């Protein structure tokens, strides 16, 4: 029997429906989920109906998906069915939960196989853009039994922490990031320092920052082509960097999570604008593998992300939205209107740093000034 939604599931779902997605009576919503996200998916169905919306809930069975992988049908998995494409075109709202949930098994399958199974991504975004869809990808899908065991976490508590972060008000998040947004709009240099040895100076690219409060932005030219689908919970400001300027070191004290890959304890050193060395407590081999095969620009800074969400306190997979955290992305930044077109994109996150823009402090000890 499927676990019933808890009060926290329902409260988070109601906040997402009313404040993030702003579902209106008569709208059509598609919800896609996996076995491990069924309680939250059920709560989303209830709350969209409560708002007067009409729902179609699509569940991918975990074991059936893996059986298709075992039959070498990854290409078939990468082609969504005609009824699903038709539903997407007719939808106003879309809610997605990450899956499959067996992250340990994901790490073991060949990269080509996994890429084939996810081949629907690009055509999905093209169709969603044409439809003017607004939606959200809810982070509870990342809280899996495998990852929890690997990191020594209580999976239920981890999921609760993510849900609590979904209770934030995106309007308050936007207000919290307003001064930081203004500073990054007019500033030129950013310096990041921390008692752990971090002292890094980078240059802004001179393009407008992007405030991600957790609400979707369909057909908004100030945002990227995939921003009709917001990451929930939200709460960050992204800004592109000048790929030619970087000097110093940043040492992470938060994990980096990229669904099938994770690292921690990352240290990146830059000299004359280039990544001169790197090391990790965990995850170094995968970083090195991606780095070796990447195209030009892999050794250049890409962007900075500043976290704005006060409820995301050291929560795995929410590191980039944690209030006061700064994330340095190395590699590609074209999605932020930067000039780095590298195939490489990886990042490290630091909490508790002091950050100054053109010498003016904007973040101190996890607090936006």
Three-state SS sequence of 233-284: CCCEEEEEEEEEEEEEEEECCECEECCCCEEECCEEEEECCEEEEEECCECH
Q: Is pLDDT above 50 for 18?
A: yes
Strand (E) or helix (H) holding 158: helix 155-165
Give strand pairing partners of 271. Answer: 274
Query: Are 135 and 176 part of one and the same domain?
Result: no
The model's confidence at residue 2, banded by pLDDT at 50, 70 and 90, is: low
How far is residue 160's CA from residue 220's CA, in Å, rounded to a whole number?
32
228 in a domain, yes or no?
Answer: no
State the chain's mean pLDDT as an integer: 94
Which of 111, 135, 167 represents a domain boundary (last residue)?
A: 167
2 in a domain, yes or no?
Answer: no
How far is residue 22's CA from residue 138's CA, in Å, rounded to a whole number?
15
Evaluate whether 116 touches 110 at the Cβ level (below 8 Å): no
pLDDT one-digit tens code per residue, 267-313: 999 999 999 999 999 999 989 999 999 999 999 999 999 999 999 99
The alpha carbon of 49 is separated from its chain's Cα centroid by a whole number of angstroms, namely 27
Q: Name the residue range of residue 331's domain.
A: 171-211+234-368
How far is residue 175's CA from residue 101's CA, in Å, rounded to a whole number?
35
Report whether the peptide linkage leading into residue 85 is cis, meaning its omega lies within 30 degrees of zero.
Answer: no
Query: Are 190 and 117 part of one and the same domain?
Result: no
Which of 167, 197, 224 represents a domain boundary (last residue)?
A: 167
pLDDT one-digit tens code per residue, 84-102: 999 999 999 999 998 999 9
| 3-state percent breakdown (helix, strand, coil) of the chain, nearest 5 | 35, 30, 35
Evaluate whether 308 touches 368 at the Cβ level (below 8 Å): yes
Q: Is pLDDT above 80 for 258?
A: no
User: Do the strands 199-204 and 54-60 form a parallel or antiparallel pair, or are they unpaired?
Assistant: unpaired
Average pLDDT over residues 347-355: 97
127 in a domain, yes or no?
Answer: yes
How far is residue 326's CA from residue 340's CA, in Å, rounded to a whole number?
20
218 in a domain, yes or no?
Answer: no
Query: Are 51 and 156 part of one and the same domain?
Result: yes
Average pLDDT over residues 330-348: 95
Query: Are 254 and 315 part of one and the same domain?
Result: yes
Domain count, the chain: 2
pTM for the whole structure: 0.93
Query: Are 145 and 181 part of one and the same domain?
Result: no
Query: Are 138 and 204 part of one and the same domain?
Result: no
**3-class DSSP assignment, residue 9:** helix
> Picking from 17-26, 34-43, 119-128, 300-309, which range would have the lowest pLDDT averaged per residue?
119-128
- Predicted confidence at residue 261, as pLDDT, reads 76
Half-sphere exposure of 31 (CA within 13 A, CB side): 27
Query: Are 309 and 204 part of one and the same domain?
Result: yes
Query: Are 161 and 201 part of one and the same domain?
Result: no
- Predicted confidence at residue 259, as pLDDT, reads 65
How far is residue 192's CA from residue 324's CA, in Å, rounded to a whole number?
12
């Amino acid at each position: 029997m499927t676990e019933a939604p808890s009060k926290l599931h329902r409260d988070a779902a109601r906040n997402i429906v009313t404040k993030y997605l702003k579902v209106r009576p008569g709208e059509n919503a598609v919800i896609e989920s996996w076995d491990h996200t069924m309680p939250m998916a059920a709560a989303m169905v209830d709350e969209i109906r409560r708002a007067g919306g009409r729902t179609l809930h699509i569940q991918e069975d975990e074991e059936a998906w893996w059986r298709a992988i075992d039959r070498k049908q990854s290409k078939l998995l990468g082609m969504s069915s005609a009824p699903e494409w038709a539903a997407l075109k007719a939808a106003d709202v879309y809610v997605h939960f990450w899956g499959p949930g067996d992250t340990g098994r994901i790490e073991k399958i060949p990269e080509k196989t996994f890429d084939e199974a996810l081949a629907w991504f690009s055509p999905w975004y093209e169709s969603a853009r044409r439809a003017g869809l607004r939606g959200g990808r809810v982070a509870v899908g990342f809280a899996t039994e495998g990852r929890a065991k690997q990191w020594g976490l209580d999976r239920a508590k981890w999921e609760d922490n993510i849900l609590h972060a979904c209770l934030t008000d995106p309007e308050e998040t936007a207000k919290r990031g307003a001064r930081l947004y203004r500073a990054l709009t007019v500033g030129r240099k950013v310096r990041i320092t921390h008692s752990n040895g971090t002292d890094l100076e980078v240059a802004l690219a001179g393009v407008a920052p992007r405030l991600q409060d957790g609400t979707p932005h369909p057909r908004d030219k100030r945002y990227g082509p995939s921003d009709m689908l917001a990451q929930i919970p939200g709460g960050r400001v992204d800004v592109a960097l000048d790929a030619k300027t970087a000097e110093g070191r940043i040492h992470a004290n938060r994990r980096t999570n990229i669904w099938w890959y994770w690292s921690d304890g990352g240290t990146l050193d830059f000299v004359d604008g280039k990544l001169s060395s790197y090391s990790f407590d965990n995850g170094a081999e995968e970083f090195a593998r991606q780095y070796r095969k990447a195209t030009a620009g892999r050794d250049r800074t890409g962007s900075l992300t500043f976290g704005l969400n006060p409820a995301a306190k050291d929560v795995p997979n929410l590191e980039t939205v944690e209030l006061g955290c700064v994330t340095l992305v190395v590699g590609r930044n074209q999605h932020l209107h930067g000039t780095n077109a590298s195939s490489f994109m990886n990042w490290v996150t630091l909490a508790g740093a002091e950050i100054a823009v053109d010498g003016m402090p904007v973040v101190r000890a996890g607090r936006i000034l």
